[in-house]
Structure 1
Amino acid sequence: MTTCYTLLLGGVLLLFVVRCRAELGDSLAERVRAEKAAEREWWRARKAEQPEDLSPAQRARWLAAAQAAYEVERGAGRLSGTRSAVVVPALRDELAERGWLARTWRPVPAGHRSRKARPWGTTDRRWTARVALDIPDDLGQVLARGCHWSSAPHIKALQRWYGRHGEAHRGTHRGGRVWRGLGPSNAELAERDRLQAAIVTTGMVLRAAICRALDIDPVPNV
């Protein structure tokens, strides 16, 4: 099945491993189990239609036609028996909604880890599960480039912030405490938080796509 999916999507896939809440990973696994069951039923129905007494050449042609029909169903999203088959259509919608598919993105500069690491300045959340997804190269490049370039100005501004205030002030002036003129003010810390929140990671977008595919509220999951 994996080979068929690779051919259907054009042959070049990028592997993304996204961290997420265990509940989200479990929900995706449950959806994939249901989709795999639907695929098995589809193949049982096709095999029941196979004529008897076919010659080897005729049987090969019949199987090829059945495989082609299967790939059409996969491409249309009517059969989705893998994690990637479930998530990729939702990822395409997610990227389109962000306006990223309509743009021409420059490549991510050499030396920048773009697909497997968090950008500089993002907060570290303790996700408890991992989901591996094979993403078509065209979407994977848009995902990586869109995250990098849309986040770049916010990362630069955040670096300037830390250049002014230092990194020792992380988490200070919280819980209603009053600023007494030492270190960054509450307003300046709020600006830091705003800049951090504006940074978009591939994990954020992929988790949003998983939630979209499963019709789950993205707020606690992204």
Structure 2
Amino acid sequence: MKVEVCRVSETSVIIYFGHSIDLQLIERIAAFSQMVQERYQGKIYEVVPSYTTLLIEYHPLKVDVQELTKWCQRQADKIANSDILSSKSKIVTFPVYYHPEVAPDLQDLAEEKQLSVEQVIQLHSQREYTVCAIGFAPGFAFLGKVDAQIATPRHAKPRLKVAKGSVGIADQQTAIYPQETPGGWKIIGNCPVELFNINSEPMMPFEVGDKVRFEPISREKFLDLGGVV
């Protein structure tokens, strides 16, 4: 696997690990993200991992960009071609209430896929997902991959309002909406857990490379946890 390190501004470099979405690649990027933060602790502003790249924003007076670029190239080449990853990923479980009263697309998706609602719930909740990227909105994690039997395209016309906590599917990805926003994902449930709080440390319960599971819960449990119908 060929890795390319490029300088994109006076304070940032980007590392290209590949050109297509691959869950193993996500894990390698997550592991490298941890390595660079440990190596340059106090010298970088932010590390932004994505599906195939890693953007590093650094302090120009504390970091020699040539040394940074060479180090990144060496370490990225090693981790890209190694079978051993040092990613400190964790597993996060989120409760989800799967029901049409909070999931406007659940019944339609089941009918479209010629499945029962219970089968859709089972296929979605019995899989472990990888946090591939965080974006669109603070706390919005793109999770992959859903079972092919329930993979579905976005709505052609996005909704103007998607409720906070909505659990959706778009193509092979699934996600939880951390707040009310416009959106086109097919909504199949709702999670009552807070996903982003600027006053918390950490602000989000997950990072790129972490694993996510969904646990079906009852209406009563959903309401007890603060869910809104």
TM-score range, shorter chain: under 0.3
Task: Name which structure has the greater RCO, CA cutoff 8 Å, separation 6+.
Answer: 1
Structure showing greater radius of gyration is 1
| TM-score normalised by the chain length of structure 1 | 0.26
| TM-score normalised by the chain length of structure 2 | 0.25
Structure with greater strand share of residues:
2
